[in-house]
Structure 1
Amino acid sequence: MLERAHLMVVREVERQGSLTAAADVLNLTQSALSHTVKKLEQQLGTPLWTREGRSMRLTQAGQYLLGLANRMLPQFELAEARMKQYADGERGTLRIGMECHPCYQWLLKVVSPYLARWPDVDVDVKQRFQFGGIGALFGYDIDVLVTPDPMKKPGLRFTPVFDYEQVLVVPEAHALAAATHVTPEQVSQEVLITYPVETDRLDVYTQFLTPANVVPRRHKTIETTDIMMQMVASGRGVAALPRWLAEEYADRMPLAVLKLGRRGIAKRIFLGTREADAGIDYLSAFIALAKKADWAKARVSR
């Protein structure tokens, strides 16, 4: 019979790349782990790995079990953590996944009052997911997904939090700084700075440049908003950001904020959760607080 311990072995051998390293993590001797692997393969009637010197490569059957391990083990681990929290009289940890790079500033202003109101709840933020944000929700790696791109999936719920406009940020001394809006053709002459996200998930591409069959003169990626805005202010390029965030930086740096096209690009931020978690009070409280973030609405309406 397939057991949780077997899934842990499959996952750890794949993570570590060898039986020796996996045995150390699992607190087993190498011989004990080798025996477990051999017994599991005999029990299942098929090899799970092919040996290449000291390293091991998963077979097709092994790949299937690895996928099962990556889906099931986080649920076991979360259940155990929550049971311990209940036993200790604690609420738990709210794990927030981010698919919106510029939303960190928004999140900070929501998390601060949330932590004050819920002193027995911790908050953890994750940005990188093995199976994407939706997969992280289904896999119980996170409890809330902050995203501008909700997907209708059975078992998930997406709550709209606030609307915003995607805009272009240029240096204050830029030739376009006095314009009310920019065209795709004008941006084609620029160095476009974005977060390190695939272009098919960047609104400035999907809703502005690509429909016009236009690409920027050059595309750079930068991880942090502060450095990105410093690059723009120093004339190293232009960047697309939510208006509320762009105007915060424009208040203290030599920057100008322009519409992307005459009509602009309207967007909305959603919080994705599992329907099964609807009864968790501290999760519902976070969503309610996020929806009341008046500062975000004020920025959008400016």
Structure 2
Amino acid sequence: MLERSHLMVVREVERQGSLTAAAEVLHLTQSALSHTVKKLEQQLGTPVWTREGRSMRLTQAGQYLLGLANRMLPQFELAEARVKQYANGERGTLRIGMECHPCYQWLLKVVSPYLARWPDVDVDVKQRFQFGGIGALFGYDIDVLVTPDPLKKPGLRFEPVFDYEQVLVVAEGHALAHVPYVTPEQLGAEVLITYPVETDRLDIYNQFLTPANVVPKKHKVIETTDIMLQMVASGRGVAALPRWLAEEYADSMPLMPLRLGRKGISKQIFLGTRESDETIDYLAAFVALARESDWSGTRLRS
């Protein structure tokens, strides 16, 4: 019979790359772990690993079990943590996944009053996911997903929390700084700076450049908003960001936000949650607080 402990072994051997390292993490002797592996393969009637020297490679059956472990074990771990919290009179941890790099400034202004109202709830923010944001939500790695690109899936709910306009940000002295709006062709000679996101998920590409068959002269990737806009302000490139964020930085840096196209690019930020978690009070309170936040046009009012 396949047991939870078997899935833990499969996951840990894959993570650590050897029985010796996995045994240490699992607090077992190597001989005990070897016996467990041998017994598991006997019960299943098929090898789970092939041995290559000291390393172990998963077979097709092993790959299936690893996928099962990655889906099921986080749910067991979450269930245990929540039951322990209930037993101790605690509320728990709200795990927020981010698929919106520039939304950290917004998140900080929501988290601050949230923590004040819910002192018995911790907040953890994750940005990197093994199976993407939707997969992390389904796999119980996170409880809330902040995303501009919701996907309708059974069992998930996406709530719009605010609207914004995607704009091009240039230095005040840039040749485009005072045009009424930017055309795709005008970016053909520019260095475009973006966050480390696949180009097919960047609005500047899929809603602006690609439909016009235009590519920038060069594409640079920078992880942090501060460094990105320092580069733009110094004339090293241009960037596409939400207008509210561009205007916030323009208060202290020589930057100019410009409309992308005659009609502009309108976007929304959504919070994704699992429908099964609707009765969790501190999670529902976070979504409600995010929806009630007043952006006053382009900025969140503190």
Q: Output the CA distance in 1 between the equivalents of 2:297 and 2:211.
A: 31
Q: Output the CA distance in 2 between the equivalents of 1:224 and 1:9.
A: 37
Superposed CA RMSD: 0.9
Greater Cα shift, 179-188 or 56-65: 179-188
Query: Which residue identity lines up with residue 298 of structure 1 in the other structure?
Result: G
1:141-220 equivalences under 5 Å are: 141-220=141-220
1:56/1:297 CA distance change after superposition, 3 Å: farther
Q: Equivalent residue for 2:36?
A: 36
Conserved in 2, the CA contact under 8 Å of 1:164 and 1:300?
no
1:297/1:18 CA distance change after superposition, 3 Å: farther
- 1:300, distance to aligned residue in structure 2 (A): 6.1
Instruction: Kindly provide the CA deviation profile for residues 81-121 of structure 1, in whole angstroms up to 9, marking residues without a partner as x.
Output: 00111111111100000000000110000000000000000
Instruction: Kindly provide the CA deviation profile for residues 123-180 of structure 1, in whole angstroms up to 9, marking residues without a partner as x.
Output: 0000011111111111000000000011110000000000000000001100110112
Q: Output the CA distance in 2 between the equivalents of 1:32 and 1:252.
A: 62
TM-score (norm 1): 0.98
Q: Equivalent residue for 2:127?
A: 127
> 5+ unaligned residues in a row in structure 1: which ranges?
none
Q: Equivalent residue for 1:78?
A: 78
Conserved in 2, the CA contact under 8 Å of 1:163 and 1:297?
no
Conserved in 2, the CA contact under 8 Å of 1:99 and 1:148?
yes
Conserved in 2, the CA contact under 8 Å of 1:110 and 1:290?
yes
Conserved in 1, the CA contact under 8 Å of 2:245 and 2:299?
no
The 4+ residue runs of structure 1 with deviation greater than 6 A are none
Identity of aligned residues (%): 85
Helix, strand or coil at the partner of 1:107: helix
Q: Output the CA distance in 2 between the equivalents of 1:61 and 1:100.
A: 36
- 1:188, distance to aligned residue in structure 2 (A): 1.0
Q: Equivalent residue for 2:297?
A: 298
- 1:57, distance to aligned residue in structure 2 (A): 0.4
Query: Which residue identity lines up with residue 24 of structure 1 in the other structure?
Result: E
Matched, 1:252 2:248: no
> 5+ unaligned residues in a row in structure 2: which ranges?
none
1:30-109 equivalences under 5 Å are: 30-109=30-109
- 1:297, distance to aligned residue in structure 2 (A): 4.3
Helix, strand or coil at the partner of 2:298: helix
- 1:298, distance to aligned residue in structure 2 (A): 2.7
Q: Output the CA distance in 2 between the equivalents of 1:180 and 1:74.
A: 50
Matched, 1:283 2:249: no
TM-score (norm 2): 0.98
Instruction: Kindly provide the CA deviation profile for residues 252-273 of structure 1, in whole angstroms up to 9, marking residues without a partner as x.
Output: 1000110000100000000000
